[in-house]
Structure 1
């Protein structure tokens, strides 16, 4: 069928309203033709590099470094560009300069005897690197990435051609002038940041930015500065999102976890959450209580004994409040089927025992001055006042709310992108491997529809304002996503927080994983999940986080015959003794998939001063002899649709159905 046959003319006539609107942007035949040529050219460019990171858990130093070095992509680029023409120490020095240009320049200025020569050599090398990383993009896209002050000069240098002898002096003159007028430092910083930006086209964060580590707000600031990003929310993220929505149970959980890991800097310094009401209440209520079950896990933090004891008191106070709020929620929402968490009324404080699953266990702590045995889930007036003040502090924190709104605007429970399915936790399964069904408000959901309805509630919890009942139900669903037995983010049959605090016997601590984790090494399951989400099993992958891969015990992150990739390898220091490494990251470039495992990151200071990069081992999972082009991506499909629309517009102009406009 040709562009000019009768069927096409009929289709174009029916689309005239839309084509007239499109014509306001492309008012002439020449402008529409130019855009078609431009889009066709873009389709033939190499696919941009995607970078996948998961389970950051507030470890801002290692995350920031990983973001700057693009999981080793920059170092590999330097090897490709300079090969053996540069010594390894020179490549390491250049890489560190690109990662931390401001700090590294200050150090090198003190060491270099001939600073002018160092500036010349460094500028030429950075221009070579910048040319390489920008080569897969259009000039227009590169131009948008350039800093305004140096955009023209950088563009001139990037388009320098070695065989153009007549212009050699022109380019040399630019470099010399940059140095002479004292702009070399600023220019090196600008080039380094352009390289960082262009080396990765899109960043995917597969959940869990929050909890455990010390700087989630610093991670969020860095992500907000990133040029192209998406989130797949994790269970820890959803907890903080619930707190931002005003869920008191989520607020209590956030505070409990922060106190458990002696990590209050994000709350107090990062978000300005006022913890004084909790501290005052805890000191008064648990004044003579040793709170031994609540000693924080300080890891390598240097905390005084008095602060540690205060944290323990606060920890116990908020934990008791949490159990009461959760008990109220479980009783209110019988459809959640979570009665197994109702344990405050199963305690016999005189006997010092608690009954769990019809078995009695000895309690490690029996001092509960705020629990009324006749109504154990009722908050005291003081507890009500404390949790209400804390919740208002979360809801009214401007920076916290800015970060959470950004997470909503760039995030989802799952994402289908370039034939990959990205999600944090799991697709809940039954024992036989079939998709688990859940009835919510009288309707049945499973597989994709379950994730869709949970995302609906997650958005409703935060944004819905008109009906308190609707908002409250949605906020309860946020808490369910944190710890519910069918939650695709939690991925376990039950949560045993109470048991871990108060029962010594570890038999009661067991949290059985959803059957997804039994079957996820099956290619057949992966194919069924692809079919559920409308993906081609022959070319698709599932990219998954949440459960750390225990590499130290021989577990592989590659499952389902290469169709499912788990990239939670232990960014969080608390997990590293179990995993043996410090995280996995994934790179998807025009040649295929590369999986990197990383050793623990020492510190930013050592990275700058001693040029200690993160030691990484990279495995090529898939390699294609033919490079993937933009035409092979989701963006390519959009561009092809735009081309079709522009072709229709051309016909409409040429057939006189729409008049060209004077420009």
Structure 2
């Protein structure tokens, strides 16, 4: 033993003693070292990157089920020309939607037992393939308890083994004769889905626009391994949950804008009756033309409901601008008092002054505004705001989901030389990292800025946070949503007021921050990666937030391959603008594959017609060798564990610690 090793043993004795409780003998420690060394030589697990889901739960579920085409690719590789294309398509549909597909098959299949035999053997082959890069122990943990033993036997026995042919056949026969074939097939399909993806990364924006954000989060609650880098829409809902009234108003306004109240009412039990009553009374004589909701293609709404929704939309928008002004004036350090635009209106002339220029208003009917004090809430608005605040604070499910976002999320993450964040890193005009002032009065940039913001967000929910600190943290959610230097926004302004109330479309423009102007520069991306300490020859930035206009020829791969933007527009509201329905990214042991998706029709179509999301796969970067666990962050962690175990072995063999009987 070298003096250095001896020194390590002496200094680490307490830790090594704790380690010995898990590995009480030389044999136990040696076995674990052998196990970990073997794991290092398995292929790297597949990572799946999604961004900007925006409540589109059906498309999310399908992409999760088909692993962005990864399962289809494996079925094609496995069966090649052995079976017809239609049979491969049917097999994939069964894997994605086993319960529904089984019902359909049983209505048309004449010899169901024969179909069961063929299908079970096919599914076992697929399951064997997707499980091959994991240890038996990890696969075993993913198996359902009812069929764990049977699946494990089938995965590790082959029909071409003469000695085991009858054994395997009897297992399958018995599954069928005991009436468990359907349950077994469902279990096997779910295992395939689970093992096809090792780690799911969501680069923000689960909420808003689509009607199923709560369904997505319910799904994630039971998902085996995932993380999220918070997006601006997630932060908005987190702020509403924390009690920021301006965020509550924004959440309600966005839901009304898209006539999507399902998430609010059915998902989180938010009571909208007080808002509806207030809107009908206050805006009874207002056609609210500017506030007619944007209906998506399948949405239907009668004229009476449309008008009520528009009136609610206007009522909450006016309340929002008042609540925002209150915070802008309370926090002059945000430099956002110029966004208190009710102060700039000549209510008699119907003119708003913006940046020294006068602009005509679309309408100037504001029954709740006192021109002498335009941002003051009326008594009725105070009561309404109090009721809405209570509804958000009392929603147990919302608090549960926000808790999940906190436990699985952060502002950024680094995985296997990839820097993940939702939107941007604030930059100066010359591309250097920009300093941004936070609630503590100090200025931070780059890595420190993102870390401090993450801590600030958590302090808004922590029970031991000082009241003043918590209040400031809760207020700061609004700045993160629409502040010029917020890494989740990074634009000159959020022109919501202008789009509602001004006739000149030039005022609608929101100038993007320097990150979006400079992100195609490889040197800028390297500077950001250096600031976050991202190492490796093939390091990347991966983010979403801004839809990629594929129909106009925009490339999601930027900065010579250093940056990948994977928001292609999951939300139906973006489809016309982008021409596609989203990008997803798959990072498997052979490299990166970017998958461009066309709009998803429906799960019903997928089951009945065998339709999949039409996807185009682009190989972004292939590795010179097949990547192993040893090439990943997990590999570095395992090597550290191996070194600790070797120290424990030394301690046993040289009498520092005594072996224990088990």
Taking structure 2 as the reference length, what is the TM-score of the superposition? 0.99
Match of 1:619 in 2: 618
Match of 2:46 in 1: 49
Query: Cα RMSD (Å) of the superposition?
Result: 1.0
* Contact 1:54 1:545 survives alignment (8 Å): yes
Distance in 2 between residues matched to 1:659 and 1:345, nearest whole Å: 77
Secondary structure (helix, strand or coil) at the match of 1:561 reads helix
Q: Give the counterpart of 2:354 among 346, 353, 356.
A: 356
CA deviations over 1:485-525 (Å, ceiling 9, x no partner): 00000121211110010012111011000011111001001
Secondary structure (helix, strand or coil) at the match of 1:149 reads coil
Q: Does 1:385 align with 2:383?
A: yes
Match of 2:130 in 1: 133
Q: Does 1:96 align with 2:93?
A: yes
Q: Does 1:166 align with 2:156?
A: no
* Contact 2:158 2:168 survives alignment (8 Å): no
Distance in 2 between residues matched to 1:21 and 1:467, nearest whole Å: 36
* Contact 2:200 2:227 survives alignment (8 Å): yes
Q: Which runs of 5+ in 2 are unaligned?
A: none
Shift of 1:537: 6.0
Distance in 2 between residues matched to 1:590 and 1:66, nearest whole Å: 20
After superposition, residues 291-310 of structure 1 pair within 5 angstroms as 291-300=288-297, 301-310=299-308
Distance in 2 between residues matched to 1:192 and 1:406, nearest whole Å: 27
After superposition, residues 528-567 of structure 1 pair within 5 angstroms as 528-536=527-535, 538-567=537-566
Q: Give the counterpart of 1:315 among 313, 316, 319.
A: 313
Distance in 1 between residues matched to 2:492 and 2:365, nearest whole Å: 29
* Contact 1:232 1:413 survives alignment (8 Å): yes
Shift of 1:437: 1.4
* Contact 1:461 1:478 survives alignment (8 Å): no
After superposition, the Cα gap between the structure-2 partners of 1:162 and 1:183, relative to the gap in structure 1 and judged at 3 Å, is: closer
* Contact 2:417 2:536 survives alignment (8 Å): no
Distance in 1 between residues matched to 2:404 and 2:550, nearest whole Å: 33
Q: Does 1:22 align with 2:32?
A: no
Secondary structure (helix, strand or coil) at the match of 2:461 reads helix
Shift of 1:163: 4.8
Match of 1:80 in 2: 77
Secondary structure (helix, strand or coil) at the match of 1:314 reads helix
Match of 1:488 in 2: 487
After superposition, residues 621-636 of structure 1 pair within 5 angstroms as 621-636=620-635
Match of 2:216 in 1: 219
* Contact 1:591 1:627 survives alignment (8 Å): yes
Match of 1:573 in 2: 572
CA deviations over 1:356-376 (Å, ceiling 9, x no partner): 111111111211111111111
Distance in 2 between residues matched to 1:213 and 1:162, nearest whole Å: 47
Match of 1:510 in 2: 509
Secondary structure (helix, strand or coil) at the match of 2:48 reads strand
Q: Give the counterpart of 1:268 among 265, 268, 276.
A: 265
After superposition, the Cα gap between the structure-2 partners of 1:457 and 1:466, relative to the gap in structure 1 and judged at 3 Å, is: closer
* Contact 1:43 1:630 survives alignment (8 Å): yes
Q: Does 1:651 align with 2:650?
A: yes
State the number of aligned residues. Answer: 660
Distance in 2 between residues matched to 1:93 and 1:504, nearest whole Å: 54
Secondary structure (helix, strand or coil) at the match of 2:215 reads helix
CA deviations over 1:150-191 (Å, ceiling 9, x no partner): 000000000003453111101100000000000000000000
* Contact 1:244 1:462 survives alignment (8 Å): no
Shift of 1:466: 4.6
Shift of 1:10: 2.5
Shift of 1:536: 2.5
Distance in 2 between residues matched to 1:450 and 1:650, nearest whole Å: 43
Shift of 1:272: 0.7
Distance in 1 between residues matched to 2:433 and 2:6, nearest whole Å: 47
Secondary structure (helix, strand or coil) at the match of 1:84 reads coil
Distance in 1 between residues matched to 2:327 and 2:449, nearest whole Å: 21
Distance in 1 between residues matched to 2:135 and 2:225, nearest whole Å: 17
Shift of 1:538: 2.6
Match of 2:232 in 1: 235
Shift of 1:467: 3.1
Secondary structure (helix, strand or coil) at the match of 2:275 reads helix
Match of 2:402 in 1: 404
CA deviations over 1:426-458 (Å, ceiling 9, x no partner): 011122212111233332211111111211211
Match of 1:185 in 2: 182
Distance in 2 between residues matched to 1:338 and 1:14, nearest whole Å: 54
Match of 2:2 in 1: 5
Distance in 2 between residues matched to 1:39 and 1:395, nearest whole Å: 47
Shift of 1:340: 2.1
Distance in 1 between residues matched to 2:511 and 2:561, nearest whole Å: 25
Distance in 2 between residues matched to 1:19 and 1:447, nearest whole Å: 37
After superposition, the Cα gap between the structure-2 partners of 1:537 and 1:164, relative to the gap in structure 1 and judged at 3 Å, is: closer
Secondary structure (helix, strand or coil) at the match of 1:255 reads helix
Q: Does 1:347 align with 2:348?
A: no
Distance in 2 between residues matched to 1:388 and 1:471, nearest whole Å: 20
Match of 1:473 in 2: 472
Runs of 4+ that moved beyond 4 A: none
Taking structure 1 as the reference length, what is the TM-score of the superposition? 0.98
Distance in 2 between residues matched to 1:164 and 1:337, nearest whole Å: 74
Distance in 2 between residues matched to 1:466 and 1:205, nearest whole Å: 28
Q: Does 1:283 align with 2:280?
A: yes
Q: Does 1:420 align with 2:410?
A: no
Match of 2:599 in 1: 600
Distance in 2 between residues matched to 1:443 and 1:234, nearest whole Å: 23
Q: Identify the range of structure 1 (534-543 vs 473-482) with the bigger mean alpha-carbon deviation.
A: 534-543
CA deviations over 1:212-256 (Å, ceiling 9, x no partner): 111111111111121000001000000001011111110000000
Distance in 2 between residues matched to 1:263 and 1:439, nearest whole Å: 35
Shift of 1:342: 1.1
* Contact 1:464 1:471 survives alignment (8 Å): no
Distance in 2 between residues matched to 1:445 and 1:646, nearest whole Å: 40
Q: Does 1:58 align with 2:55?
A: yes
Q: Which runs of 5+ in 1 are unaligned?
A: none
